[in-house]
Structure 1
Amino acid sequence: MGSIEIARAESERGELVLRRRQGEAGSPAALELRANGVFVMDTVETTTERALAAMALAAVAEPRAVMIGGLGLGFTMHEVLADPRVERCVVVELEQALVDWMRDGTIEHGPGVIADSRVRLVVADIAAAVAEARPASYDLLLLDVDNGPGYLVHDANAALYENHFLQRARDLLRPGGAVAVWSAAEAPDLEETLTAVFSSVRVERYDVRLGERDEHYWLYLGCLGPGRSPTGR
């Protein structure tokens, strides 16, 4: 299958490239996003991005305010907005170009999704956004900024899976809230850290078929007990 580049941007972190990949006979073309040559995601297999949102939404009784770390191609955001309980969805994306492509239709489905009045797109580092947010101001935080802790898009993202950041993420939550993390591979160290920070932890494996091969993706969910303050277990 061939592909053509439809957008490229450079930043201090390197290059971001959006390509259109020709589909197999009878299948539509796909968009593919790469950062510094590393595959981030495409529009062929999006079930786990959606599942990240669905699992987290199902675990929280009142997910009124949701923060998403990582815009990607917008599928996690789309799933969050499909839930009528959600009143506010803040999407934090590091790359201005990706936000621009979503807004101007370079990513075709982008303008329709972000037209939802509940959406606010913020160009920032998710670590800074979490640090600056008021404690107990969100019900869900979804992290989809890498292919998981073992496959970082940027080396600095390693801190997002460590105790200090996850404690700050916990403080962001209202009682009964949760943090969900998408990973391309099993991440026992992440599970251990989440267990040290949250009242309870769930891990789910998702089996997907990519072309001619089987893949296994993982979703990690750290939950804050309904009767517990955000600053203590």
Structure 2
Amino acid sequence: MNGAVPQPDHAPRVVERTMGVCGELVLREVDGQYEIIADGMFLMDTRDGRSERAMVSAGLRALPRGRVGVRVLVGGLGVGFTARAALDEPSVDHVHVLELEPRVIAWHQGPLAAGAGHLLAEDRCLIECADLVAWLDAAGSVPETAGYDLVCLDVDNGPDWTLRTANAWLYGDDALERLRAVTRPGGVVAFWSSAPAPGFVRWLTQRCSPHGGTVETVTVPTDRGEPDTVYVARLGG
């Protein structure tokens, strides 16, 4: 996700305007690229995807050496860059995507399909319409849901800029314990942010260190000015 609206060469064309779970959703096309707008706020587009790919590659590098058959949980489908990046990695066997907005999933049957490599047709990819907050809260207490190696969270503009009030829970103690519960030993969680969040990374480091975990900060340059940031947490334990 990105907080700044790119400046198009031509006027945007609205492909669809609809009411979503969290308010108005707009899919628009400009200069051959697609943008998703929520309640007037620019969320993401199909122009780049560097930071999403960096989140996946850094997360996989942080896993124990030689791990194969990797299972990835992705919070937020968006334009599909994170899921596609994971599926393109040879070590990944399965990608499970949780997306709150049903229309975003539907757009991957139409305008967004080709840009993300037709995710809905991928045998190794399960896209589920679900609230990540509610799913994690429930899944953390059910042993059968454990088994992800990497979790990529890209549901907001970052820990300090949540687009939905309930999502603030994802950056706190209870959520981190749920994430531990759904990951295998040596598991990794990667958090996407449109800006540095020093308070968050201090908190995350304090929570991971007692378990032998570490936190890596990955800075990704962007064409719009301020770089994106990815925090890669080795949970330890």
Question: Which of the five TM-score ranges fits, normalised by the shorter chain?
Answer: 0.7 to 0.9
Mapped to 1, the partners of 2:218 and 2:184 lie a distance apart of 23
**Is the aligned partner of 1:38 residue 2:47?**
no
Q: What value does the CA root-mean-square deviation take over the aligned residues?
A: 1.6
Query: Could you say which residue in structure 1 is the equivalent of 2:155?
Result: 145
1:218 pairs with 2:229? yes
CA contact (8 A) 2:21 2:101 kept: no
Q: TM-score, normalized by length of structure 2?
A: 0.86
Q: CA deviation at 1:111?
A: 6.5
Residue 84 of structure 2 aligns with which residue? Answer: 78
Match of 1:26 in 2: none
% identical equivalent positions: 37
Tell me the residue number matched to 1:59. Answer: 62
Give runs of aligned pairs for residues 158-197 of structure 1, distance below 5 A: 158-197=168-207
Separation of aligned partners in 2, 1:69 and 1:30? 23
What is the aligned partner in structure 2 of residue 126 from structure 1?
132
Unaligned 5+ segments in structure 2 are 1-8
Structure 2 CA distance, aligned partners of 1:94 and 1:37? 18
Secondary structure, aligned partner of 1:117: coil
The one-letter code of the counterpart of 2:56 is A
Is 2:129 the counterpart of 1:94?
Answer: no
Once the two structures are superposed, residues 69-116 of structure 1 have per-residue CA deviations (whole angstroms, 9 ceiling, x without a partner) of: 0001000100000112211111000001101111x2121425623311
Secondary structure of 1:208's aligned partner:
coil
* 1:200 alignment counterpart: 214
Superposition deviation, residue 190 in structure 1: 1.5
Determine whether 1:7 maps to 2:16.
Answer: yes
Offset, 1:150: 2.2
Q: Distance in 2 between matches of 1:146 and 1:87?
A: 26
Closer/same/farther in 2, CA of residues 111 and 82 from structure 1, 3 Å limit? closer
Residue 12 (structure 1) shift = 4.1
- Which stretch has the larger CA shift, 184-193 or 133-142? 133-142
Equivalent pair of 1:201/1:222 in contact (CA under 8 Å) = yes
- For residue 167 of structure 1, what is the amino acid of its counterpart? E
The one-letter code of the counterpart of 1:6 is V
Q: Which structure is richer in relative contact order (CA contacts within 8 A, separation 6 or more)? A: 2
Aligned residue type for 2:62:
A
Distance 1:196 1:189, change over 3 A: same
CA displacement at 1:57 relative to structure 2:
1.3
What's the offset of the Cα at 1:164? Answer: 1.3
